[in-house]
């Protein structure tokens, strides 16, 4: 009996130490928390957290860059999960004695590491192992479909001046998107740049001689993007670069999808979408 009581006390103490009220400071973290089955413990998210749909009912702590400390304090979290680049936020949270877990996942390996770190902190290690296995399986399936297909030179635009093809910011070598493009049978035209997201001049764009253009430049806020908007972006490329191989082959795409900008559990889905754009012939029935 005494051993049973001690065991029950140990379980109760461990449960009390396991975070039950979690605040997420980025969409990628929110998706990770939910994918690990921790959605019922999430009490606050950013204004840009869109997935899964039920997250829209959670309290909003503000934007990714400017969260409200007053709101966070009012939610009484026993854990805040943030990104390492949230340096000032980490210091602020520590000053008010909110436990903090800082993660980083710019690449695919980092996504796996963050899932493991969150799971270890919240006591759901087996869920992380299962989720990582599923992601790896999904990525392997996409890679197998792309096997033997031509490696098409691809650019992914994440920023530009609205209504014009100017002041482009594209995916570079360090981004998880670069890895996904390669898995899907593409070859990032700017993979040799040092920056994760380099600024690209018109001359560099033309020299890239892209066979696939994927443009999310003015659609990163994916809520409310219309089909008319997407079609207008494709028309911009047709008018500005009619001789670009991507435009001639009808492989200039306008996308507005969180899966392309949130480095999280849905990266295998993003890789599949890349495959469908880079090699549409591989997925046609």
Q: Are residues 188 and 76 in the same domain?
A: no
Residue 195 phi, psi dihedral angles, 5° rounding: -70, 150
Q: Are residues 168 and 262 in the same domain?
A: yes
pLDDT in tens, 106-122: 999 999 999 999 999 99
Q: Are residues 170 and 276 in the same domain?
A: yes
Confidence (pLDDT) at 116: 98
Report if residue 127 sits inside a domain: no
Confidence (pLDDT) at 63: 87
Q: Are residues 158 and 59 in the same domain?
A: no
Q: Is the peptide bond before 76 cis (omega within 30 degrees of 0)?
A: no
Report if residue 123 sits inside a domain: no
Q: Are residues 161 and 60 in the same domain?
A: no
Confidence (pLDDT) at 8: 39
Q: Are residues 161 and 274 in the same domain?
A: yes
Report if residue 188 sits inside a domain: yes
Confidence (pLDDT) at 72: 93
In which residue ranges of the chain is pLDDT below 70? 1-16, 219-224, 284-285
272 Ramachandran zone, left/alpha/beta (phi>0; psi -120 to 50): alpha
Q: Are residues 98 and 202 in the same domain?
A: no
Report if residue 186 sits inside a domain: yes
CA nearest neighbour of 263 among 179, 207, 165, 190? 179
How many angstroms separate the CA atoms of 63 and 105, rounded?
Answer: 19
Surface-to-core class of residue 282, CB atoms within 10 Å of its CB (0-12 exposed, 13-18 middle, 19+ buried):
middle
Eight-state DSSP code of residue 62:
B
Confidence (pLDDT) at 64: 79
CA nearest neighbour of 34 among 19, 22, 47? 22
CA nearest neighbour of 85 among 65, 107, 100, 67? 65
Residue 35 phi, psi dihedral angles, 5° rounding: -65, -20
Q: Which range of residues forms the domain containing residue 201?
A: 149-282
Task: Detail the DSSP E strand segments found in 12-99.
Answer: 22-24, 42-45, 59-60, 79-83
Q: Are residues 194 and 271 in the same domain?
A: yes
Report if residue 129 sits inside a domain: no
Q: Are residues 34 and 88 in the same domain?
A: yes
Q: Are residues 87 and 162 in the same domain?
A: no
From 51, 78, 104, the end of a domain falls on 104
Q: What are 95-104's contacts with CB under 8 Å, separation 24+?
A: 96/69, 98/23, 98/72, 98/73, 99/19, 103/29
CATH number at residue 155: 3.40.50.1980
Report if residue 221 sits inside a domain: yes
Number of domains in the chain: 2
Report if residue 125 sits inside a domain: no
Residue count of the chain, please give it.
285
Confidence (pLDDT) at 11: 36
Report if residue 76 sits inside a domain: yes
62 Ramachandran zone, left/alpha/beta (phi>0; psi -120 to 50): left
Q: Are residues 202 and 83 in the same domain?
A: no
Provide the whole-model pTM.
0.89
């Amino acid at each position: 009996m005494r051993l049973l009581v001690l065991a029950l006390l140990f379980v109760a103490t461990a449960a009390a130490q396991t975070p039950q009220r979690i605040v997420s400071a980025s969409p990628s973290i929110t998706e990770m928390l939910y994918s690990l089955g921790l959605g019922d413990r999430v009490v606050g998210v950013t204004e840009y957290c869109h997935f899964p749909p039920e997250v829209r009912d959670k309290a909003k702590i503000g934007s990714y860059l400017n969260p409200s400390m007053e709101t966070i304090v009012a939610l009484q979290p026993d854990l805040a999960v943030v990104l390492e680049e949230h340096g000032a936020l980490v210091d602020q949270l520590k000053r008010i004695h909110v436990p903090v877990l800082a993660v980083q996942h710019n690449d695919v390996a980092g996504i796996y590491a963050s899932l493991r770190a969150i799971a270890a902190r919240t006591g759901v290690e087996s869920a992380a192992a299962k989720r990582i296995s599923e992601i790896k399986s999904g990525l392997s399936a996409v890679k197998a479909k792309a096997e033997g297909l031509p490696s098409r030179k691809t650019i992914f635009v994440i920023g530009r001046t609205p209504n014009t093809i100017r002041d482009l910011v594209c995916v570079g070598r360090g981004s998880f998107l670069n890895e996904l493009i390669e898995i899907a049978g593409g070859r990032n035209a700017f993979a040799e740049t040092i920056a994760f997201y380099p600024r690209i001049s018109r001359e560099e764009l033309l020299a890239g001689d892209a066979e696939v253009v994927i443009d999310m430049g003015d659609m990163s806020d994916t809520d409310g993007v219309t089909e008319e908007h997407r079609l207008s972006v494709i028309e911009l490329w047709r008018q500005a670069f009619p001789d670009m191989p991507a435009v001639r082959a009808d492989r200039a795409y306008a996308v507005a999808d969180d899966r392309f900008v949130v480095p999280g559990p849905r990266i295998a889905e993003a890789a599949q979408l890349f495959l469908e754009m880079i090699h549409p012939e591989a997925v046609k029935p």
